[in-house]
Amino acid sequence: MVSEREIFNLSGPLHLTCVDWNNVHHRRSVAACLVQGVYILERDRQEKREGPQALAPPWWEFFNFQLLRKLVDNVDSSIFGAIFEYKPPSSSGNHSADGPHFVVAFRGTMTKKESVSRDIRLDLHFIQHGLHSTSRFETAMQAVRNMVATAGESRVWLAGHSLGSALALLAGKNMAKTGFFLESFLFNPPYVSAPVEKIKNTKVKLGIRFATSVITAGLTLAMKAPHLRNQSADSFAALSAWVPQLYVNAADHVCSEYIGYFEHRNKMKEIGAGAIEKLATPHSIGSLFMSAMGKQAEPLHLIPSANLSINLNPSPEFKRAHGIHQWWGHDLNLQSKVYTYS
């Protein structure tokens, strides 16, 4: 049965008939629609919808994109990503320097039986800081490298939702480590942590976060040799010039911890505990324990800088708070702030 959320003419941003690439709301909406296009590509595959019956193409064709390549998981043959090329009409002159030439987009977890098993396993890999070792990520990373080598970093955007945003974030981090800073749109990126942000009492939240920073810093001191600590801090600082766009919903426990993560760093500086936070910020307690067991476990979700946008609209249910559809809504109540690491 087809959901109206799959049909662009019923659920897409039909008002965006002319995209202004200098408009942050237009950029966000188009990036989210391309990610939705990847979801529908996989649903079309599962439902065997082809030709005129396929529902995916309007999600990119409406904005003058063409599907350049599907990214397919070699384990379950599901479509998890796609590369789109921007092809505006020659008369429009709409290919500004601020717009993309190519967008590499990744979908998140799907609950359909044909893909849910593989997607859930990848979710577990992410929680265990092992997403970088999966074949899906290797396919994604190779696609991103190839596009940057062909087109250049200023012409390539990354976009993803949920598990897909974790893939995009990790690909963006890897590229940033080599000096390529890609424009990135990360919708509801998962954050591996207890849901501290759900606590209403501000003082209790601050106390828990402070204690966590102290423990993390202490474990870092105890478990890492000085040269390794410095190397880790330098590696983290080297990423600070990359400022991805993070879009989170305050009611979504999967991603809302990013709110506290960035704000807590500022608070630690304000109270004179910046040295503790500098040790703690690049690490998580979970990744440190895994490292102690001999496993390579870089906390993949931690980043030094970001332009964090929070959707403050009421979301009565998790499905809506975590959904991709919210990000092209015309009535968004967004609170945005740029965080940089020094």
For 172-238, the DSSP string reads: HHHHHHTT---EEEEES----S--GGG---HHHHHHHHHHHHHHHHHHHHHHS-HHHHHHHHHHHHH
Start-to-end CA distance of the chain, whole Å, equals 51
Looking at this protein, which amino acid is placed at residue 83? I
- Res 47 pLDDT > 90: yes
The model's pLDDT over 292-335, given as tens digits with 9 standing for 90+, comes to: 555 655 677 889 999 999 999 888 788 899 999 999 988 899 99
Mean pLDDT of the chain: 86
What is the reported pLDDT for 291? Answer: 58
Q: Is the pTM of this model over 0.75?
A: yes
pLDDT-wise least confident of 13-17, 97-101, 205-209: 205-209
- Is the pLDDT reported for residue 202 higher than 80? no
Establish how many alpha carbons lie within 13 A of residue 341's alpha carbon, considering only the half-sphere containing its beta carbon. 25
Q: Write down the pLDDT at residue 227.
A: 45
Give residue 66's pLDDT. 97
What are the backbone dihedrals phi and psi of residue 42, each rounded to the nearest 5 degrees, phi first? -70, -35
Q: What is the mean pLDDT of residues 236-246?
A: 91
Determine the Cα–Cα distance for residues 11 and 328; give it in Å rounded to an integer. Answer: 10
Q: Could you read off the pLDDT of 175-197 as tens digits, one per residue?
A: 999 999 999 999 999 998 767 77
Count of helices and strands (H, E) across the chain: 12, 8
Name residue, tokens 């929680």.
Answer: 127
Domains in the chain with CATH codes? 4-339 (3.40.50)
Quick one: angle between helices 163-177 and 135-151, nearest 10?
Answer: 50
Say what the pLDDT of residue 271 is: 77
Helices 202-223 and 226-238: crossing angle in degrees, nearest 10, is: 130
Reduced to 3 states (helix: H, G, I; strand: E, B; else coil), residue 109 is: coil
211 CB burial (10 A radius; 0-12, 13-18, 19+): exposed
Residue 342 has pLDDT above 70, yes or no: yes
For residue 81, how many other CB atoms are within 10 A of its CB? Answer: 28
pLDDT at 150 over 60: yes
